[in-house]
């Protein structure tokens, strides 16, 4: 056996346990769920052509879920990129109490979702703390979770929960930028803003790209908080794709669930593919 | 060489792990013609059908299955009793059904349904037995309670059959009615007449002395009719209709008029009647042989002249609520559907429930002739029981002749509606907000 083949075989041997798990728990169910997209019935399945896809795209709840998910991403992802970036810029320099701020940002990551959501529920329900403050200040109260304000609550919850993680990632990225670049820029007469735009931002792009991908993934995960906060059928403004899929699972509509999951997979795959292409083109310049 | 062996072993391990999942292993006991061999038993071909039922279904179904297995020819029902209705059991059953490995005959209890919403029922889990049912000559000659027998027909498909049902209602006594001068006629009431009684009570000074209703009646009235305002065919809701708004307002109005739930009393109507705790007391049954026995006992022991009233349906002229208690359908993955239907047909036969052995049956069989046999037997059993007054027998007959078509049962929709209805009853939101929230939530559900 050639040394390279030997190496490949050894590598395969080491990844086999994980590969087996992947095949059983991910690959096989995924292939089976693709099969569901083109069938109808329970137990015994019948070929259904593309009817599951036409049914999905004519579902008013699916369209609403797609719109809400896109809207949430458009609002929340730029915020979860910008705020942690500037916080990381502040925290990258040593100052007294820096570790305290680190702790503050990390805490939301380690608190269990259920208890986090309970606190938010106490704050934002109709007779909650925020409305009580509004009442005391003679400001009209808001039905936070039963109006378009629910989007704001969910965005805030998403930011609060995920800022710390992104701060760490940005800090790691900033720490990787060599001081020499800044020194050279200052010698050339660059001020703080110029250093930021001409050194920090171009150099942090790989880390920012990673943060962007992670933020999109976390934006999809916000369903967990929305679900614990408002259940299977929340206000229609925060009814997300995962609500749609979760509910179809419970309602036994596996065909529609699989179809929605496949469409989502294809869209995310395309998005990530495009992002990698964009990143590559940046690298080229 | 060593490497190759290790890799081969690992590959075999992976293959063994994957294969059972890929095969989707079917339960071999489920269906099919099988040969039963035993000690000294003559070999015979049996069609075995699996039927799951919860132990809460009492012994009734088990007895019927035993009888069927003796007389059912080459069809043998294999009862599979599960102990509880907890989430884990239900989840396991659901997985079995969806993978095609579930029971051949799907039985359900109304209040603890596994397939508990419209979407689940119409998802293809049930086989449409319309052809068998509509073309069966014996069934065509059977006398059924309508619309109970058609309760499992969804979009023209007969997905399940209700073989036992209940008629909930209220009980009172002529003595109480007279004592408190309740303005009620001897006829069965309509929804509007019930509202009139509420108005009378609110204006009278009786509210300081006695409650109008009890917790159980309140619960029945408050939870039975929301599904009326959902049109599944058009995927629309009508919660903002005048009738729906009036219904909600009425339910809110009667909340304080009902006596709160008392764990110790449950449905002990003796207490309600003898101690006059409320003018009307809800009861799970105001028809059926078991109920008749309760009245016999009451009249005999305490000399009370019991009166019964059903639950009127809003927007209907004297139509009354019933509850489809036990249902049965054929699983779409059942291999021998004809044999499965033979058992369902057996359940519907007059001689199965029309048997004096079932003289304490809590529910009413959907076969009317069978029920008549039970009632007649009860009336003739004069040694043990006092005959039921004619006025009550006539009332019961009238109630059973005027059962309202039941709105489609949908627990998920009901949960959504009740959430906002409760917020309205508690004064947290206005009726308009409640209706809007109900509409938004149920529209989302319907649109999925």
Q: Give pLDDT tens digits for B312-354.
A: 988 888 899 998 888 999 999 899 999 999 999 999 999 999 9
Q: What is the pLDDT of residue A228?
A: 87
- Contact list in A for residue B443 (CB cut-off 8 A) is 60-61
pLDDT level of residue B217 (50, 70, 90 thresholds): confident
pLDDT by residue for chain A (285 residues), tens only, comes to 677 888 889 999 999 999 999 999 999 999 989 999 999 877 777 899 999 999 999 999 999 999 999 999 999 999 999 999 999 998 888 888 888 888 888 888 888 888 888 888 899 988 889 999 999 999 998 888 888 899 999 999 999 989 999 999 999 999 999 999 999 999 999 898 999 999 999 999 889 999 998 999 889 888 888 898 888 899 999 999 999 999 998 887 889 999 999 999 999 889 888 888 887 776 655
Closest partner residue to B7 (CB to CB) among A9, A64, A236 is: A9
Compute the C-alpha angle A237/A239/A240, nearest 5°.
120
Closest partner residue to B119 (CB to CB) among A16, A43, A253 is: A253
- Contact list in B for residue A127 (CB cut-off 8 A) is 428
Residues 410-439 of B with CB under 8 A from A: 412, 416, 428-429, 433, 437
Does A253 contact B448 at a Cβ distance shorter than 8 Å? yes
Phi/psi of residue B172, each to 5°?
A: -150, -175
Cα dist. B391→B21, B298, B387 in Å? 63, 16, 12
pLDDT tens column, B41-66: 445 678 899 998 876 656 788 889 99
Query: Is residue B18 within 8 angstroms of chain A, CB to CB?
Result: yes
Distance in Å, alpha carbon of B100 to nearest chain A alpha carbon? 4
- In chain A the first and final C-alpha atoms are separated, in Å, by 43
Does B10 contact A16 at a Cβ distance shorter than 8 Å? yes
Cα dist. A107→A93, A96, B160, B426 in Å? 21, 19, 53, 37
Tell me what the mean pLDDT of segment B394-399 comes to: 92
Does B448 contact A24 at a Cβ distance shorter than 8 Å? no
Least confident of A12-21, A116-125, B6-15, B186-195: B6-15
| Phi-psi label, residue B260: left if phi above 0, alpha if psi -120 to 50, beta otherwise | beta
Q: What is the pLDDT of residue B9?
A: 55
Tell me what the mean pLDDT of segment B389-405 comes to: 89
Portion of chain B with pLDDT greater than 90, in percent: 31
For residues B109 and B90, give the distance between their C-alpha atoms in angstroms, rounded to a whole number.
13
Q: What is the pLDDT of residue B366?
A: 96
Does A251 contact B123 at a Cβ distance shorter than 8 Å? yes
Q: What is the pLDDT of residue B2?
A: 56
Q: What is the pLDDT of residue A265?
A: 92
- Contact list in A for residue B6 (CB cut-off 8 A) is 13
Cα dist. A156→A27, A65, A153, A161, B440 in Å? 35, 19, 5, 8, 24
Nearest CA in chain A to B14: A20
Query: Is residue B117 within 8 angstroms of chain A, CB to CB?
Result: yes
pLDDT level of residue B23 (50, 70, 90 thresholds): very low
* ipTM tops 0.95: no
Does B99 contact A43 at a Cβ distance shorter than 8 Å? yes
Closest partner residue to A61 (CB to CB) among B98, B117, B448 is: B448
The predicted model scores a pTM of: 0.77
Q: What is the pLDDT of residue B137?
A: 94
Closest partner residue to B123 (CB to CB) among A1, A236, A252 is: A252
- Contact list in A for residue B440 (CB cut-off 8 A) is 235-236
Contact A234, A148 (CB under 8 A): no
Q: What is the pLDDT of residue A76?
A: 96
Residue B399, pLDDT above cutoff 90? yes
Query: Is residue B15 within 8 angstroms of chain A, CB to CB?
Result: no
Q: What is the pLDDT of residue B17?
A: 44
Least confident of A48-57, B175-184, B361-370, B374-383: B374-383
pLDDT tens column, B72-103: 689 999 998 887 777 778 778 888 887 788 89
Query: Is residue B268 within 8 angstroms of chain A, CB to CB?
Result: no
Residue B26, pLDDT above cutoff 50? no
Q: What is the pLDDT of residue B162?
A: 94
Residue B39, pLDDT above cutoff 50? no
Q: What is the pLDDT of residue B25?
A: 39
Query: Is residue B12 within 8 angstroms of chain A, CB to CB?
Result: no
Higher pLDDT, B215 or A100: A100
For residues B356 and B185, give the distance between their C-alpha atoms in angstroms, rounded to a whole number.
35
Does B448 contact A248 at a Cβ distance shorter than 8 Å? yes
């Amino acid at each position: 056996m050639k040394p390279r083949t030997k190496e490949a075989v050894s590598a395969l041997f080491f990844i086999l346990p994980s590969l087996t798990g992947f095949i059983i728990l991910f690959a096989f169910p995924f292939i089976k769920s693709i099969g569901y997209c083109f069938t109808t019935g329970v137990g015994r399945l019948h070929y259904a052509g593309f009817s599951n896809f036409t049914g999905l795209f004519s579902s008013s709840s699916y369209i609403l879920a797609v719109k809400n998910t896109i809207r949430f991403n458009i609002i929340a992802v730029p915020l979860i990129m910008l705020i942690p970036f500037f916080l990381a810029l502040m925290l990258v320099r040593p100052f007294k109490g820096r570790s305290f701020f680190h702790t503050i940002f990390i805490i939301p990551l380690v608190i269990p979702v259920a208890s986090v959501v309970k606190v938010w529920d106490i704050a934002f329900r109709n007779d909650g703390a925020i409305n009580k403050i509004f009442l005391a200040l003679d400001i009209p109260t808001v039905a936070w979770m039963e109006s378009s304000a629910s989007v704001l609550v969910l965005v805030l919850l998403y930011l609060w929960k995920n800022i710390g993680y992104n701060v760490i990632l940005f800090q790691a990225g900033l720490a990787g930028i060599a001081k020499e670049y800044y020194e050279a820029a200052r010698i050339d007469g660059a001020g703080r803003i110029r250093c930021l735009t001409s050194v920090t931002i171009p150099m942090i792009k790989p880390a920012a790209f990673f943060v962007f991908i992670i933020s999109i993934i976390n934006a999809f995960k916000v369903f967990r908080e929305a679900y614990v906060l408002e259940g299977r059928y929340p206000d229609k403004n925060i009814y997300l794709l995962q609500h749609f899929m979760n509910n179809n699972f419970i309602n036994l509509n596996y065909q529609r669930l699989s179809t929605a999951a496949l469409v989502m997979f294809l869209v995310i795959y395309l998005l990530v593919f495009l992002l990698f292409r964009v990143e590559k083109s940046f690298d080229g310049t | 060489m060593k490497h190759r062996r290790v890799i081969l072993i690992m590959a075999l391990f992976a293959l063994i792990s994957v294969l059972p999942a890929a095969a989707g292993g079917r339960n071999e006991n489920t269906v099919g013609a099988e040969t039963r061999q035993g000690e000294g038993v003559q070999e015979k071909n049996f069609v075995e059908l699996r039927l799951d039922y919860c132990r809460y279904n009492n012994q009734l179904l088990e007895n019927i299955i035993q009888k069927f297995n003796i007389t059912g020819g080459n069809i043998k029902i294999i009862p599979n009793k599960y102990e509880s209705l907890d989430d884990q059991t239900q989840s396991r059953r659901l997985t079995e059904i969806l993978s095609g490995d579930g029971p051949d005959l799907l039985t359900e209890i109304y209040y603890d349904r596994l397939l508990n919403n419209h979407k689940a029922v119409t998802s293809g889990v049930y086989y449409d037995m319309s052809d068998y049912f509509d073309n069966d000559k014996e069934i065509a000659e059977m006398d059924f309670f309508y619309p109970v027998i058609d309760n499992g027909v969804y979009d023209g498909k007969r997905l399940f059959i209700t073989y036992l049902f209940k008629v909930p209602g209220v009980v009172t006594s002529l003595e109480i009615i007279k004592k408190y001068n309740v303005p009620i006629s001897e006829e069965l009431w309509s929804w509007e007449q019930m509202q009139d009684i509420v108005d009378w009570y609110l204006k009278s000074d009786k509210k300081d002395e006695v409650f109008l209703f009890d917790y159980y009646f309140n619960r029945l009235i408050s939870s039975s009719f929301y599904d009326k305002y959902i049109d599944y065919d058009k995927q629309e809701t009508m919660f903002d209709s005048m009738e729906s708004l009036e219904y909600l307002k009425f339910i809110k109005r009667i909340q304080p008029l009902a006596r709160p739930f008392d764990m110790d009393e449950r449905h002990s109507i003796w207490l309600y009647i003898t101690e006059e705790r409320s003018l009307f007391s809800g009861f799970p049954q105001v028809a059926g042989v078991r109920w008749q026995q309760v009245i016999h006992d009451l009249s005999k022991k305490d000399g009370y002249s019991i009166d019964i009233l059903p639950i009127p349906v809003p927007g209907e002229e004297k139509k009354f609520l019933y509850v489809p208690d036990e249902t049965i359908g054929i699983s779409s993955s059942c291999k021998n559907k004809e044999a499965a239907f033979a058992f369902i047909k057996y359940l519907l036969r007059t001689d199965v429930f029309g048997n004096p052995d079932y003289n304490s049956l809590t529910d009413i069989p959907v076969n009317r002739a069978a029920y008549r046999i039970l009632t007649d037997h009860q009336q003739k059993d004069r040694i043990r029981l006092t005959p039921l007054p004619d006025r009550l027998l006539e009332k019961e007959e009238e109630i059973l002749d005027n059962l309202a078509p039941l709105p489609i049962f949908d627990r998920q929709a009901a949960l959504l509606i009740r959430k906002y209805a409760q917020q309205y009853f508690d004064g947290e939101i206005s009726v308009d907000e409640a209706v809007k929230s109900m509409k938004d939530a149920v529209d989302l559900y319907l649109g999925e």
